[in-house]
């Protein structure tokens, strides 16, 4: 599978502002960068910074007035679909240190608030069986609604409203998985078929010694997803973090199969 990615961002900044951009697809074993360019219209130099867990690349830039960024990429995906159901659980005590943060509550994923629910509703399940059940539960319990959440919405809010966008689906799945002792992280990504076309958010669950992608919106299969960044929640994987204020002028994300 090859994906062609085109991203155009145009924002207005009233005063000089630092911006942390995170829109380049990550080079990984199961996704190869065939070709890519990132162009930023700025009077100041840009500087690369490594992403969370060493995955992907952030970019520091300085914006003042009209600011524009353009990303073009061709990504080759070589990733088999894995059935989560038979995968074994890993006891928390056996996890390596770098996985521990993905068991703990975070800003948008208050996993501790879901422990009772997971114990009651999914009693007797663990590991891959629990993971598969959680993906199905989120997929069937939520309604995708573009105006159902804001940048402040947490997984607890989504659980109560039963609606949200892709980031809300990912936050809720990650929270439930952590509550069930499955390390889970959020992933920003590109995928074809996302409706409306935009940056996408999915989850990754740690089972039987490796990470496994899961899209609870069911818009994309794991073989169609190009990761951009990973992290505890949306704080870590935001495509753009503005250290000040900005006004959106134009934004488009186009992903197609080649």
pLDDT, tens only, 162-194: 999 999 999 999 999 999 999 999 999 999 999
Among 144, 168, 166, smallest CA distance to 156 is for 168
Confidence of residue 146 (pLDDT cuts 50, 70, 90): confident
pTM of the predicted structure, to 2 decimals: 0.96
- Cα separation of 33 and 78, whole Å? 11
pLDDT, tens only, 56-74: 999 999 999 999 999 999 9
For residue 222, the 8-state DSSP code is G
pLDDT, tens only, 99-127: 999 999 999 999 999 999 999 999 999 99
Q: Which residues contact 210 (CB under 8 A, 6 or more apart)?
A: none
- Cα separation of 10 and 185, whole Å? 29
- Domains of the chain, each with CATH number or no CATH: 2-78+239-257 (2.60.40.2250), 92-237 (3.10.620.30)
* Residue 183 and residue 203 in contact, taking contact as beta carbons nearer than 8 Å: no
- Cα separation of 75 and 6, whole Å? 11
- Does residue 148 register a pLDDT over 90? no
């Amino acid at each position: 599978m090859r994906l062609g990615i085109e991203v155009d961002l145009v924002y207005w900044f009233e005063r000089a502002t630092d911006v942390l951009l995170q829109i380049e697809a990550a080079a990984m074993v199961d996704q190869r960068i065939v070709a890519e360019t990132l162009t930023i219209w700025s009077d100041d130099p840009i500087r690369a910074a490594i992403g969370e867990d060493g995955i992907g690349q952030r970019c520091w830039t300085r914006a003042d007035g009209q600011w524009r960024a353009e990303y073009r990429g061709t990504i080759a995906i070589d990733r088999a679909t894995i059935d989560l159901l038979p995968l074994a659980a890993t006891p928390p005590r056996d996890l390596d240190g770098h996985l521990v943060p993905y068991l703990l509550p975070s800003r948008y994923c208050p996993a501790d608030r879901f422990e009772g629910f997971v114990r009651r509703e999914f009693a007797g399940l663990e590991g891959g069986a629990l993971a598969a059940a959680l993906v199905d539960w989120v997929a069937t319990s939520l309604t995708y609604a573009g105006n159902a959440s804001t940048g402040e919405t947490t997984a607890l809010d989504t659980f109560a409203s039963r609606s949200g966008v892709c980031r809300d689906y990912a936050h809720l799945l990650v929270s439930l998985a952590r509550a069930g002792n499955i390390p889970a992280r959020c992933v920003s990504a590109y995928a074809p078929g996302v409706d409306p076309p935009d940056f996408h958010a999915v989850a990754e669950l740690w089972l039987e010694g490796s990470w496994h992608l899961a899209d609870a919106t069911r818009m994309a299969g794991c073989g169609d997803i190009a990761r951009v960044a990973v992290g505890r929640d949306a704080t870590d994987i935001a495509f753009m973090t503005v250290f000040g204020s900005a006004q959106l002028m134009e934004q488009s994300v186009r992903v197609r199969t080649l």
